[in-house]
Amino acid sequence: MPRPRSSQQPGLTAGNIKDGARQLMDEMGTQGLSLREIARRLGVTAPAIYNYFPRLDDLITALIVDAYRDLADALSTAGQRAGARVSADPGKRLLAVLRTYRAWALEHPTEFTLIYGNPIPGYQAPEEQTRPEAVRGFAVILDLLLEAHSQGRLPGRANPLPMPPTLKVGILSAPEGQTPYPSEVVYLGVMGWYHIHGMIMLELFEHNTSLVSDTGLFYEFEIQNLLARLGLLTETN
């Protein structure tokens, strides 16, 4: 049977396939991914996909990298917009970024799960592909903390943060091979991330439905509290 595709129609693209995959995962969960089912939905036979992704794992990798990139973009533009719109205050920009973190997770639950949920059995993410985008997202937060730190607004030598001397924080070099972040900045970033991440994970998988009635309000309260404790928010909002 001849291919029905005419030259006007866009035909199969890597983008098409990824979109189909994302849609399928939305319905079936991250482990419901299936080359054959994606092909079926695109009105194409399964082997056709091999022209774009030699193996299923390559498709998964592409989806993961896309997700990290999309999240990093969302965080980055949220920070920039807040800077342009409201003020240059790093605390307020950080607040906008943290709001966006949750918003992105709730708007893209499948992709968030793909990144941060159970590892897919038998699949090993190639770090050299996924790591840069993953780091870029977290660096948005670290950069704002660094800015506050350089303004002397974070706890430091004069106003020491409780931080045990034996605690060794791994060194994460800044994006462009610049000087590494000071360990106070990394510590605060990680600490805040843990808190926020736990909230979102438990909300996403519905472990807190009987405990918290308005998870959005709760989140908002927590991030304001967090930033206020660091001296980054003087007035509310």
Partner DNA sequence: TGTACATCAGTGAACGCGCGTTCACTGATGTAC
**Which residues make up the interface to a second copy (CB under 8 A)?**
28-32, 113, 116-121, 134, 162-164, 166-170, 172, 186, 190-191, 193-199, 201-202, 205, 207-214, 217-218, 221-222, 225, 228
**Paired tokens of 231:** 């001296």
123 or 205, CB closer to DNA?
123
Four-residue CA torsion sign, 181, 132, 111, 73: positive
35 or 78, CB closer to DNA?
35
How buried is residue 119: exposed, middle or buried, by Cβ count under 10 Å (0-12/13-18/19+)?
exposed
User: In this chain, which of 20, 22, 33, 137 binds DNA, going by CB under 7 A?
Assistant: 33
Cβ 5 to a second copy, closest distance in Å?
Answer: 32
**Of the candidates 69, 68, 70, the residue with the CA atom closest to the CA atom of residue 115:** 68
12 or 226, CB closer to a second copy?
226
Question: Which residues make Cβ contacts (< 8 Å) with residue 28, sequence separation at least 6?
Answer: none
Cβ 67 to DNA, closest distance in Å?
Answer: 19
83 or 182, CB closer to a second copy?
182
216 and 208 Cβ atoms separated by less than 8 Å? no
186 and 138 Cβ atoms separated by less than 8 Å? no
Binding residues vs DNA (CB under 7 A): 1-3, 5-7, 11-12, 33-37, 39-40, 43-48, 50-52, 55-57
